[in-house]
């Protein structure tokens, strides 16, 4: 047994479960966009093959799910899509123009919290609750490199307003919470 691994903390996702988890995130993300954002979804699909690099969109919400090795989940949005989601999400609520950017970031955080929470229901183990971090928001496009011992698994939700990328990085222990690699060679 690996001495760094606490046997009382289960693995969230084995390699066999990772694709199923991303599928749940894509399905629940589609539901969020349609129901909360009032955005029709045109296509949902996993990104096939081994990913060594991923280009993130204009606005990205990131959180970690703590299992033995830390799973990072990121939802990355085209700005046009997040603006449309924000409009649907806040329909009927008065928002001051100077508060719009901050509240749009909070909407991105709500989206990842709700979707990940719902997707984790399918992986819940009796007597164990996963620790989920507070979302971090990155307000710029960036490129994510796969660290040699990590796996990037992703999918896309396409709408007429833009694309949302769902990205999982496992194990996430080699990354900072802003998705820069922090492992030493």
Read off the CATH number of the domain in which 89 is found.
Answer: 3.40.1550.10
pLDDT at 74 (0 to 100): 93
- Residue 25 resides in a domain: yes
Q: Classify each residue of 111-138 as buried b or exposed e, where b means 16 or more C-beta atoms within 10 Å of its C-beta.
A: bbbebbebbbeebeeeeeebebeebbbb
- Domain of residue 149: give its range: 15-174
Count of structural domains within the chain: 1
Residue 46 domain-assigned?
yes
Task: Report the pLDDT value the prediction gives residue 170, as an integer from 0 to 100.
Answer: 82
162-182 tens-digit pLDDT = 999 999 988 777 777 777 777
Residue 4 resides in a domain: no
The reply to whether 151 falls in a domain is yes
> What does residue 28 show for φ and ψ, rounded to 5 degrees?
-70, -35
pTM: 0.87
Contact 169, 72 (CB under 8 A): yes
Residue 69 lies in a domain: yes
Please say whether the beta carbons of 54 and 33 come within 8 A.
no
Flag whether 183 is in a domain: no
Contact between residue 152 and residue 144 where contact means Cβ atoms under 8 Å apart? yes
Give the pLDDT band of residue 5 (cuts 50, 70, 90): very low
Does residue 140 contact residue 62 with C-beta atoms inside 8 Å?
no
Give per-residue pLDDT as tens, 106-164: 999 999 999 999 998 877 777 777 888 999 999 888 888 787 878 888 999 999 999 99
The model's pLDDT over 11-53, given as tens digits with 9 standing for 90+, comes to: 555 666 788 889 999 999 999 999 988 999 999 999 887 788 8
* 1 in any annotated domain: no
Q: Residue 129: which residues within 8 A CB-CB, separation 6 or more?
A: none
The pLDDT score that the predictor gives to residue 137 is 94
27 and 121 Cβ atoms separated by less than 8 Å: no
Asked if residue 179 is part of any domain, the answer here is no
């Amino acid at each position: 047994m690996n001495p760094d691994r606490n046997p009382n903390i289960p693995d969230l996702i084995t390699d066999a479960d990772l694709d199923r988890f991303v599928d749940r995130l894509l399905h629940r993300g589609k539901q969020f966009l349609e129901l909360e954002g009032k955005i029709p979804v045109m296509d949902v699909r996993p990104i096939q093959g081994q990913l060594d690099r991923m280009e993130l969109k204009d606005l990205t919400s990131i959180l970690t799910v703590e299992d033995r090795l830390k799973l990072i989940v990121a939802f990355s949005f085209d700005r046009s899509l997040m603006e449309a989601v924000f409009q649907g999400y806040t329909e009927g609520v008065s928002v001051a123009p100077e508060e719009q950017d901050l509240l749009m970031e909070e909407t991105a955080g709500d989206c990842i919290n709700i979707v990940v929470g719902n997707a984790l229901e399918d992986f819940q183990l009796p007597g164990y609750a996963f620790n989920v971090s507070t979302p971090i928001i990155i307000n710029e496009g960036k490129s994510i490199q796969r660290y040699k011992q990590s796996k990037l698994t992703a999918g896309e939700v396409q709408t007429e307003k833009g694309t949302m990328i769902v990205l999982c990085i496992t194990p996430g222990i080699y990354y900072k919470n802003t998705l820069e690699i922090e492992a030493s060679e």
